[in-house]
Amino acid sequence: MTKDTGSAVFFILLAAGGLWMALSFNTMSAVFPILVLSLLLLFSIIYFFISIMKGRESTETASAIFSKEAVITGLCLLGYVLFIWVIGFLAASLLFLGGMTWYLQGGFVSGKKRVRNAAGSSIIVTVVFFFLFRYVFLVQLPTGIFTS
């Protein structure tokens, strides 16, 4: 199965599941989702058959969607959100910016300079924007589950 076929199957399942859910809505709530999901189902079925026909003709090149850098970045983003919830915005941002800057410098900067750059950028960016949003724009930023 090619990746396009996989995507098509995913969309077919999504549309079918959505249609099944939409049947439980009242008429006026269901009419538009049913129309949209029917279109999605139709396009996905066409996409499925096209991908099968193309799959026979060509072999796919290896994709780099889930490259090491992409996976680590994705995990860092999820970790950042989790940290904001647990320890609050200020501490989580200091950790995220510092950690991410340190990681991304790999291969470019090393030693003490790498740590100094990471810590410096983390503190400057976080503190400046934290004060701007907290005290100028008066946004109540999350303080974490231990303090709220």
Q: How far apart are CA 95 and CA 83, in angstroms?
A: 9
The minimum distance between CB 136 and another protein, in angstroms, equals 8
Q: Could you give the CA distance from residue 41 to residue 34 in angstroms, rounded to a whole number?
A: 10
Q: Tell how far CA 49 is from the center of its chain.
A: 29
Determine if 7 is a binding residue for another protein (CB under 8 A).
Answer: yes
Kindly state the tokens that stand for 105: 């410098």
Q: Give the footprint of another protein on residues 67-126 (CB under 8 A).
A: 67, 69-70, 73-74, 77-78, 80-81, 84-85, 89, 93, 96-97, 100-101, 104-105, 107-109, 117, 121-122, 125-126
Min dist CB 108 to another protein, Å, is 7
Contact 101, 117 (CB under 8 A): yes
Compute the least distance from the CB of residue 63 to another protein, in Å.
7
**Is position 39 an interface residue for another protein (rule: CB under 8 A)?**
yes
107 secondary structure, DSSP code? T
SS3 141: coil
Name, in order, each residue with C-beta under 8 angstroms of 105's C-beta and a sequence gap of 6 or more.
114, 117, 118
Question: Which residues bind to another protein, rule: CB under 8 A?
Answer: 3-4, 7, 11, 18, 21-22, 25-33, 35-37, 39-40, 43-44, 46-47, 50, 63-65, 67, 69-70, 73-74, 77-78, 80-81, 84-85, 89, 93, 96-97, 100-101, 104-105, 107-109, 117, 121-122, 125-126, 129, 133, 136-142
